[in-house]
Amino acid sequence: MKAAPAGFSNLEEIGGDDQEVTPLELFFDLVFVFAMTQVSSFLANHLTWVGIVRGVGLLAVLWWAWVTYSWLTNAIPAEEALPARLVLLAAMAAVLIVALAVPDAFGDDGVLFGLAYFVVRMLHVVLYTLATDPETRDAILRLAPGFLLGPALLIPAGFLDGSIQAVFWIVALALDYGVPLVRGVSGFKIQASHFVERYRLILIIALGESIVAIGVGVNASGLALTTNVIFAAISGILLVFALWWLYFDYVVLAAERRLVSATSAERAALARDSYSYLHFPMVAGIIFIALGIEQTLAHVGESLTVIPAVALGGGGALYLIGHNLFRLRDTGTVSIPRFVVAAGACLIIPLSMYVSALVSLSALMALFVGLSGFETVRSEFRQAIRGG
């Protein structure tokens, strides 16, 4: 095997099992804050079923770009070599262009979106290939055809519209998401604590979108701070608190212990399934809840229409289902209370079309806050993890 080029060759030795999340990684994530905001705005401006499907497609594309770089920066400490740092900053610039093109990614800016996204993904493969050891290099080259062909299909998709454009997007996502599942992730090395911390931080970013949605819902509509608006804002922030609590109180602790205890052979597969795949429904659920909160604040005294109602209740259900799938993959068990509350969140969807949006949001908040309190007091799994 060829040695890594000068400037990259010592990166494997610099990194270690105790590697912490670096300022460069946090800086890199800032551009994804903007990208998620753009997706949230896209959904708010396209409250149709086609718009929702397209919004999910945009979120899936951006999520997978972030995922691939989370694996890359877990493998190499990019701050320590100037060439690697410059490649990561170039990728940030390309992600910014992708984010700027999001509002019209299925229209006039489709080609720009596809080109910029391909650059993001190409830089990832190039840096991964140059900066890692021979075993990891072979692993990334095994996945490279799917990692490059999928994003490449988004370029011609920008010239198209309608059903044929949708087919290109579906095939692109299937290739990109499918190649690690089909070809496997053997050969990749995972620093467990660092990897878990990266996903904690991206969940925080997604939860931040929900907080931003409260302000957008009030300010975009120029609402006076009436009692109803204030109560809706408080209900929204309490719901966000509960979302945070349900993930960070004990779930993430149990997951980190499981990843740390996994053998090197199974750790990469566990990281792929539990984090790269199964965190996506959690992030999507949070984004949909944010949309529901924003629409509630904008129409606090009215009933929600179908799509905002589905976003609010369905987003809550999706978030909890993601949690249970995550737990099932890690421990082989599920939380029955979380399934029950997910079902309750689904029941809020039809309710939302007959009562005021404030009542709907308050009901969802009560379900999630109640679940958080119940698990804190009664969950044996939590007690086992936190020791009391």
Query: pLDDT tens for residues 22-52?
Result: 888 999 999 999 999 999 999 999 999 999 9
Output the pLDDT for position 2: 42
Using CB atoms within 10 Å of the CB of residue 45, give its burial: 0 to 12 exposed, 13 to 18 middle, 19+ buried: exposed
In tens, the pLDDT along 308-352 reads 999 999 999 999 999 999 999 998 999 999 999 999 999 999 999
pLDDT at 75 over 70: yes
- Contact between 15 and 77 under an 8 Å Cβ cutoff? The reply is yes
What is the distance, to the nearest Å, from the Cα of residue 98 to the centroid of all Cα atoms in its chain?
16
Q: The tokens of 255 are what?
A: 């997951």
pLDDT at 10 over 70: no
Comparing 23 with 387, the larger pLDDT belongs to 23
Output the pLDDT for position 134: 92
Output the pLDDT for position 6: 46
Name the DSSP class of 303: -
Q: Label residue 219 by pLDDT band (50, 70, 90).
A: confident
Residue 324 vs residues 41, 279, 335: alpha-carbon distances, Å = 28, 11, 6
Q: Label residue 381 by pLDDT band (50, 70, 90).
A: confident
Q: State the CB neighbour count (10 A cutoff) for residue 148.
A: 17
Q: Label residue 226 by pLDDT band (50, 70, 90).
A: confident
d(CA 90, CA 66): 14
Output the pLDDT for position 3: 46
Q: Worst-scoring range by mean pLDDT, 45-49, 83-87, 172-176, 333-337? A: 83-87
Name the DSSP class of 263: -
Q: What mean pLDDT is predicted for residues 233-257?
A: 93
Q: State the CB neighbour count (10 A cutoff) for residue 382.
A: 19
Output the pLDDT for position 220: 65
pLDDT at 11 over 60: no
Q: What mean pLDDT is predicted for residues 113-117?
A: 98
Q: What torsion, rounded to 10 degrees, do the Cα atoms 9, 27, 101, 62 define? A: 70
Q: The tokens of 220 are what?
A: 């975009």
Q: What mean pLDDT is predicted for residues 75-103?
A: 91
Picking from 269, 274, 319, the residue whose alpha carbon sits closest to that of residue 139 is 269
d(CA 109, CA 223): 33
Q: Worst-scoring range by mean pLDDT, 128-132, 178-182, 213-217, 221-225? A: 221-225
- Widest CA span of the chain, in angstroms? 68
Q: What mean pLDDT is predicted for residues 118-136?
A: 94
Comparing 4 with 43, the larger pLDDT belongs to 43
Place of tokens 């053998």: 263
Output the pLDDT for position 18: 57
Q: What mean pLDDT is predicted for residues 44-65?
A: 96
pLDDT at 127 over 80: yes
d(CA 237, CA 216): 13
Q: Label residue 16 by pLDDT band (50, 70, 90).
A: very low
pLDDT at 9 over 50: no
N- to C-terminal Cα separation, the chain: 52
Q: The tokens of 290 are what?
A: 């944010």
pLDDT at 12 over 50: no
The set of residues, in sequence order, having a beta carbon less than 8 Å from that of 295 and lying 6+ positions away, is 44, 47, 217, 304, 308, 311, 312, 357
Picking from 132, 279, 112, 119, the residue whose alpha carbon sits closest to that of residue 195 is 279
pLDDT at 8 over 70: no
d(CA 293, CA 237): 9
Output the pLDDT for position 13: 42
Q: Worst-scoring range by mean pLDDT, 214-223, 294-303, 347-356? A: 214-223
Output the pLDDT for position 317: 98
Output the pLDDT for position 82: 84
Q: Label residue 221 by pLDDT band (50, 70, 90).
A: low
What percentage of the chain has pLDDT greater than the value 70?
A: 94
Q: What mean pLDDT is predicted for residues 115-127?
A: 97
pTM score, whole prediction: 0.91
